[in-house]
């Protein structure tokens, strides 16, 4: 039975599918399509990380970071740029160490 996926997959997934005897079709995305697919994958992986149990959380975070790495590479953004932005945000707004949840404002 044919299953539609229409999502970005890791590079070796077609090879793995083919070795299992399953027929498949892939396309190579343009850079614009690739960037959009990465953004969709970021949402997908974020949702999986949010829903993961404690045992699977490290695996889901690794998947999420893999997508972040691909986004940084595609856009030519360095880790240093990201770290500088993190530092700026921490300096101006803090981090999450106090576990503070804002309930309401008026």
Domain limits of the chain? Answer: 13-79
User: How large a percentage of the chain has pLDDT more than 90?
Assistant: 98
pTM: 0.90
Count of CB atoms situated within 10 Å of the CB of 77: 13
Residue-wise pLDDT for 67-92, tens only, equals 999 999 999 999 999 999 999 999 99
The pLDDT of residue 1:
86
Give which of 37, 19, 41, 20 is closest to 28, Cα–Cα.
Answer: 37
CA distance 47 to 44: 5
Which residue ranges in the chain fall short of pLDDT 50?
Answer: none
Q: How far apart are CA 35 and CA 25, in angstroms?
A: 20
Q: What angle do CA 46, 47, 48 make, to 5 degrees?
A: 90
């Amino acid at each position: 039975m044919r299953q539609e996926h229409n999502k970005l997959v890791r590079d070796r997934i077609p090879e793995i599918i083919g070795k299992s005897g399953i027929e498949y079709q892939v396309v190579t995305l343009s850079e614009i399509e690739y960037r959009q697919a990465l953004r969709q994958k970021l949402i997908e992986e974020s949702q999986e990380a949010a829903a993961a149990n404690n045992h699977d959380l490290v695996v889901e975070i690794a998947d999420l970071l893999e997508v972040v790495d691909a986004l940084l590479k595609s856009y030519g953004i360095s880790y240093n740029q990201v770290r500088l932005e993190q530092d700026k945000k921490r300096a101006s707004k803090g981090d999450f160490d106090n576990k503070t949840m804002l309930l309401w404002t008026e």
